[in-house]
Amino acid sequence: MGLEAICPYCQRPTVQDPWVPDNDNPSMEVAPHRPGWVLCPGCGKTFSLTPYSWDGERHQTCGQRLRIRPAELPEPAL
């Protein structure tokens, strides 16, 4: 079982213990490259910060542990 264990409509697990890959790599820090979206350094895929793709600790596709820092805002023009 992989991502099919999470309901695409309500984002809730459809089984007691949904499978998420664990690649055992050290946690990596990333920043969103556009609002609500992150490029995973573990697998190179862009994903949205929703429960379907992100569990708050790991990217659900590859299992990479991530620390997501706030997006950097551009300096306002004077």
pLDDT by 10s per residue, the chain, length 78 = 344 566 667 776 665 555 556 678 899 999 998 888 999 998 999 999 888 888 889 898 888 999 998 876 666 666
pLDDT for 47? 92
pTM recorded for the entire structure: 0.64
pLDDT for 5? 61
Is beta strand 37-39 parallel, antiparallel or unpaired with respect to 46-48? antiparallel
Q: In 3D, which of 70, 57, 56, 50 has the Cα closest to residue 23?
A: 57
Give the single-character DSSP code of 6.
Answer: B
Q: How is the chain split into domains, by residue range?
A: 1-7+23-70
